[in-house]
Amino acid sequence: MWPGDLRVIYERLRNLNTNHGFPAGARPYIYQEVIDLGGEAVTKHEYTPLAAVTEFKFGMELSRAFQRGNQLRWLVNWGPQWGLMDSEDSLTFIDNHDNQRGHGAGGNILTHRQPKEYKAAIAFMLAHPYGEPQLMSSYSFTDTEAGPPMNNNQDIISPSINSIALLPFGSPFHQTIVFQDGTCGNGWVCEHRWRQIFQMVQFRNVAGNTGLNDWWDNGSNQIAFCRGGQAFIAFNNDLWDLSQTLQTCLPAGQYCDIISGSRSGNGCTGKVVTVGNDGRAHISVGANEYDMMLAIHVGTQV
């Protein structure tokens, strides 16, 4: 659509209804889909004066980096220097309903089919202050034209919520305890329910409007950075272990890693990171671990 026509439509929109909890004068959030990887006749920059625009190059470049097509160390200047729009103009994502299927600027885009790399790219998106992030939540498919999971009557099947059955070690009664892990079944993927992803949403909320500081890299595919004095994250996409004492920018204390587990009462279900009085901590992410990152923030201190 011609940008001038869209401007007329947007200007006719009313303020959001205060009866539904919106503050007086609040405007709707608008984003516009423009597929522009460079060289297109219609450019994303024609629409940025109106509202946010989908930044397809964002997911393409991060997918390349976390598949080792580009070293993570180069992400030190992630943002407009990579040819991306200004942060306030960008709706960012790794995959969407089109490029997940190889359509609409599709190609070698990370999806749930490559969970380790995908979760890392999502974690970087949520940890980095650039852009306004959008998460994908999808269903599994083999045919790119297939609709969502359905029964024999072609009715859409609702997601089921998976549980994990655990047999406590040394239990004299061999009692089975069932825990809900929150992920989906019945053909639904529900990436937004994966622990490593929804806890990184909390990371982003805790980091707030703080900037990125104390960047570290090993000259290859191991990187780490702080978000102000609120949060810290480290990635290891090398074929060898990350084992370094790094500046976390957090107050002294013990923190739960929200990637390998979560905070539970006064303890952690995953890794524990001990931060010293100087803000430094020993960070370990093995090359063969289930996930390639570690993340802590002020809300995970125990």
Q: What does the pLDDT look like over 81-100, one tens digit per residue?
A: 999 999 999 999 999 999 99
Question: What are 19-64's pLDDT values in tens digits?
Answer: 999 999 999 999 999 999 988 899 999 999 999 999 999 999 999 9
Q: Does pLDDT of 248 surpass 50?
A: yes
Residue 236 pairs in a beta bridge with 222
pLDDT at residue 180, as a whole number: 56
CATH topology of domain 209-300: Immunoglobulin-like (2.60.40)
Same fold, 3-138 and 209-300: no
- Residue 163: predicted pLDDT: 80
**Residue 78's closest CA among 229, 223, 230?**
223
**Distances from the Cα of 176 to the Cα of 126, 171, 179, 243, angstroms:** 36, 9, 10, 37
- Identify residue 126 by its one-letter amino acid code: L
In angstroms, the CA 202 to CA 208 distance is 10
C-alpha–C-alpha distance, residues 295 and 233, integer Å:
4
Give dist(CA 116, CA 291) in Å, integer. 6
Report the alpha-carbon angle 133-136-137, nearest 5: 140
Tell me the percentage of the chain whose pLDDT exceeds 70.
94
pLDDT given at position 106: 75
pLDDT score of 167 more than 90: no
Task: Say what the pLDDT of residue 164 is.
Answer: 62
Homologous superfamily assigned to 3-138: Glycosidases (3.20.20.80)
Please give the average per-residue pLDDT across 261-275, as a whole number: 95
Q: What is the mean pLDDT of residues 212-231?
A: 98
The predicted structure's pLDDT at residue 176: 44
Domain limits, the chain: 3-138, 145-188, 209-300
Confidence of residue 107 (pLDDT cuts 50, 70, 90): confident
Confidence band of 273 (pLDDT split at 50, 70, 90): very high
